[in-house]
């Protein structure tokens, strides 16, 4: 009824478009942005005939959804830059990326918990990157909820990159006592310096581009007063005063991603539920549980006062190694978003998995429950896998004991972690390793490392689900490889030769099952079963008499089992059917090049990493089962969202107007 009553208005278009697609949408009536004489019954005070050349903030917004400048009339298609501003045209500005906030966590009894730890820059301790990996990564708006069909969507509701000039102006207004748009109840950026909140009147948004200090050394701008902080949301940088450079910094902000894969603060309840039953089955003993938190206020060994919580993953591993025995089930819960810069590569910190043991290391909340008499206990049955993405800066090494007699091999689960180093399985007999919603081998330079099985572990089964990893080197592990909704590898050089890409899936002894994933490199497996996936490099299976590759893209040079509705095979077959005769090899390669996947970004840690570009051929962008897109974005449903956006316009767009989607991310 609300849609019907508001039918034909820009607000209704925005709301129905958002409901039909799941994307935030801003409708702009371009005829309202034209320079024309105003009627006294329709006065537009904000529609100025000339634009100020001194207003840099307005100039940056001119071509976007929130610009105030007016334009002369144009002729052409509504989605073209030259024909946008015409009388019948309406623009639907769409943001495809999602913003994922990372910051302070809190509950009533413990107060705030450790936030994101900015990475110290190579040029000095006073200069830091918001991204804990040390990359220059833009910060995004933390969108406010859009609750009313009558209200218009504004800049605080869309997951757009933050503008340093707009934040600078907003902070100045806040210092003058005016209301703030960006630093209200949900500030887009918050900082803690040496554990204390930095007041907004001491925050300054500015340009922190690298410049010469006059002596040939790189530097950024720095604040002139102690306790003040300069930050650049477009580069993801912050700078401290000389007297503050030795102090700790915590941040609350948001980054963007095209879908919920890799280590992230999004809701992972379904992932947690998939393996929770192994630890909390009825009729079994309660699992061994320990928490990890960087906040000293939470660290305690007293189980009656919120324990056991230790200060580091290294300490948690030492305690697990001492307590674990045959058949032990345990949980190590990372309770915050902090960075754990620890060396876990020495013998004492190698994670040991005894026979028939189960261990999960997961990012999750472990709620405190107040009992009578001032007792605070943590409830293991109320563990919640959301709002957390701890950063482990070192390598993680695993060694499993060889099962004796009829005992089963052990199992390890990693869920919700950002691991900058590699995950290495040492010599032994680990039964299974599950990587779920993790980023493995990430750094500011890209995905430089990944999972590596060093030796033995012939029966090891590996599961990679909703992960981002640099590589999967399984060696002699032959228990099977399952990859689902994941991205493996990256392409920084935009290498066109599929045979020249690096090997990112090296599993010569494993039977691989790959679904809804993007593989940026070559793959070598024993046999393969694949569906709805993208293989940017050559895929080779030693055994082709079993398995099938369905609804996938794989280069012509790939050696895989029978292909069903795959590209570029399908495009070549259609061309041959149209001509009625086989095509020469040169023509086949020309057609194959015409359906190569195109990405918005193919190098990590770009915000749009793994997202198919709008100009990607439909054979790939809508070539998976049911018309979905191939690769890791299969579950995002982009083709269906775009179709829904077009379909709803027929009913809700006023007669005589023409609308076009204008994608911003």
Same domain, yes or no, for 322 and 427? Answer: yes
Cα 218 to its chain centre, rounded Å, is 30
Q: Domain for residue 70, yes or no?
A: yes
Residue 422 has pLDDT above 60, yes or no: yes
| Residue at token pair 């280590």 | 263
Nearest-5° Cα angle at 260, 256 to 261: 105
* Mean pLDDT of the residues in the chain: 91
Return the number of other C-beta atoms located less than 10 Å from residue 36's C-beta: 13
Helices 10-21, 638-652: inter-axial angle, 10-degree rounding:
150
Query: SS3 for 382?
Result: helix
pLDDT beyond 90 at 393: yes
Q: Around 223, how many Cα atoms within 13 Å sit in the side-chain half-sphere? A: 23
Q: Using the predicted structure, report yes or no on whether residue 110 has a pLDDT greater than 50.
A: no
Pair (336, 210) in one structural domain: no
For residue 404, give its domain range.
269-479
Taking the C-alpha atoms of residue 520 and residue 609, their distance in angstroms, rounded to an integer, is: 11
Residues 164 and 75 occupy one common structural domain: no
Burial class (CB in 10 A: 0-12, 13-18, 19+), 182: buried
562 domain residue, yes or no: no
3-class state of residue 15 by DSSP: helix
HSE at residue 58, side-chain half, CA atoms within 13 A, is 12
- The β-bridge partners of 117 are none
Is 217 inside any structural domain? yes
Q: Provide the pLDDT confidence category of residue 111 given band limits of 50, 70 and 90.
A: low
Residues 358 and 473 in one domain: yes
Q: What integer pLDDT is reported at residue 79 of this predicted model?
A: 80
CB neighbour list of residue 196: distance below 8 Å, 6 or more residues apart: none
As a whole-number percent, the residues of the chain with pLDDT over 70 amount to 97
- Residue 295 resides in a domain: yes
Band (pLDDT 50/70/90 cuts) for residue 612 is: very high
* Angstrom distance (rounded) from CA 334 to CA 366: 9
Closest among 609, 633, 233 to 446, alpha carbons compared: 609
Give a yes or no: residue 189 inside a domain.
Answer: yes
CA distance 465 to 468: 9
Same domain, 370 and 444: yes
321 and 280 inside one domain = yes
From CA 431, how far away is CA 355, in angstroms rounded? 9
- Condensed to tens digits (0 to 9), the pLDDT of residues 88-107 reads 999 999 999 999 999 887 65
Query: 357 lies in a domain?
Result: yes
- In terms of domains, do 447 and 367 share one? yes
User: Do 121 and 219 reside in the same domain of the chain?
Assistant: yes
Number of structural domains the chain divides into: 4
**Same domain assignment for residues 17 and 82:** yes
Q: Give dist(CA 658, CA 313) in Å, integer.
A: 57
Q: Check whether residue 440 and residue 344 sit in a common domain.
A: yes
Strands of the sheet containing 89-94, edge to edge, are: 25-29, 89-94, 658-663
What CA–CA distances, in Å, run from 12 to 4, 142, 596? 9, 23, 38
Would you say residue 536 lies in a domain? no
Res. 282: pLDDT tops 90: no
- What does the alpha-carbon distance between residue 529 and residue 512 come to, in Å, rounded to a whole number? 6
Which residue, 479, 508, 542, sits at the end of a domain? 479
Q: Are residues 341 and 287 in the same domain?
A: yes
pTM of the model: 0.95
DSSP string, 329-347: EEEEEE-SS-EE-----SG
- Asked if 626 and 643 sit in the same domain, the reply is no
CA distances from residue 395 to 185, 408, 548, 575 in whole angstroms, order as listed: 38, 26, 35, 50
Residue 524 within a domain: no
């Amino acid at each position: 009824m609300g849609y019907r009553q508001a039918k034909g208005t820009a607000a209704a278009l925005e709301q129905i478009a958002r409901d039909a697609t799941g994307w935030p949408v801003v409708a702009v009536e371009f005829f309202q942005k034209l320079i024309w004489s105003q009627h006294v019954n329709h006065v537009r005070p904000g529609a100025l005939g000339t634009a100020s050349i001194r207003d840099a903030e307005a100039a940056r917004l001119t071509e976007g959804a929130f610009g105030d400048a007016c334009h002369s009339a144009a002729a052409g298609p509504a989605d073209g830059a030259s024909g946008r501003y015409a009388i019948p045209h309406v623009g639907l500005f769409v943001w495809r990326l999602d913003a994922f906030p990372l910051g302070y966590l809190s509950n009533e009894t413990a107060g705030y918990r450790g936030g994101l730890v900015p990475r110290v820059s190579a040029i000095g301790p006073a200069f830091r990157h918001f991204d804990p990996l040390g990359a220059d990564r833009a910060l995004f708006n933390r969108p406010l909820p859009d609750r009313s069909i009558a209200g218009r969507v504004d800049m605080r509701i869309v997951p757009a990159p933050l503008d340093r000039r707009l934040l600078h102006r907003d902070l100045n207004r806040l210092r003058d006592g005016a209301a703030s748009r960006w630093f209200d109840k949900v500030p887009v950026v918050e900082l803690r310096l040496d554990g204390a909140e930095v007041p907004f009147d001491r925050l300054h948004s500015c340009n922190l581009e690298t410049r010469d200090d006059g002596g040939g050394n790189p530097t950024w701008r720095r604040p002139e007063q102690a306790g003040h902080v300069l930050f650049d949301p477009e580069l993801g940088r912050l700078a401290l005063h000389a007297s503050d450079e030795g102090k700790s910094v915590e941040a609350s902000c948001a980054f963007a991603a095209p879908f919920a894969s890799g280590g992230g603060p999004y809701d992972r309840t379904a992932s947690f539920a998939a393996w929770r039953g192994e630890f909390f089955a009825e009729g079994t003993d309660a699992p061994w549980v320990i928490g990890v938190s960087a906040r000293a206020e939470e660290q305690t060994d007293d189980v009656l006062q919120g324990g056991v919580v230790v200060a580091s993953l290294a300490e948690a591993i030492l305690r697990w190694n001492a307590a674990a025995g045959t058949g032990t089930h345990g949980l190590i819960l990372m309770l915050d978003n902090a960075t754990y810069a620890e060396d876990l590569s020495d013998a004492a910190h190698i994670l040991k998995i005894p026979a028939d043991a189960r261990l999960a290391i997961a990012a999750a909340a472990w709620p405190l429950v107040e009992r009578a008499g001032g007792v605070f206990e943590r409830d293991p049955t109320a563990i919640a896998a959301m709002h957390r993405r701890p950063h482990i800066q070192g390598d993680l090494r695993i060694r499993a004991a060889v099962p004796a007699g009829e005992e089963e091999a052990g199992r390890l689960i990693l869920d919700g972690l950002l691991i900058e180093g590699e995950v290495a399985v040492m010599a032994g007999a680990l039964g299974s390793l599950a990587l779920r919603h993790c980023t493995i081998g990430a750094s500011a330079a890209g995905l430089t490392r990944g999972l590596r099985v060093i030796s033995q572990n012939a029966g090891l089964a590996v599961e990679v689900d909703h992960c981002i990893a640099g590589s999967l080197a399984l060696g002699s592990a032959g228990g099977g490889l399952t990859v689902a909704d994941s991205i493996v590898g990256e392409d920084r050089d935009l290498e066109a030769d599929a045979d020249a890409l690096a090997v990112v899936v090296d599993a010569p002894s494993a039977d691989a099952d790959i679904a809804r994933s993007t593989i940026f490199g070559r793959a070598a497996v024993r046999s393969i079963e694949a569906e709805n996936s993208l293989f940017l490099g050559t895929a080779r299976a030693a055994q082709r008499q079993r398995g099938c590759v369905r609804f996938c893209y794989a280069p012509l040079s790939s050696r895989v089992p029978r292909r069903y509705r795959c590209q570029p095979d399908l495009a070549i077959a259609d061309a041959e059917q149209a001509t009625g005769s086989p095509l020469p090899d040169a023509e086949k390669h020309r057609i194959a090049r015409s359906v190569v996947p195109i990405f918005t970004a193919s190098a990590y840690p770009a915000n749009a990493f793994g997202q198919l570009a709008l100009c990607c051929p439909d054979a790939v962008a809508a070539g998976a089962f049911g018309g979905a897109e191939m690769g890791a974005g299969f579950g995002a449903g982009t083709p269906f969202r775009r179709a829904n956006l077009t379909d709803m316009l027929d009913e809700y767009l006023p007669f005589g107007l023409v609308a076009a989607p204008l994608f911003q991310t």
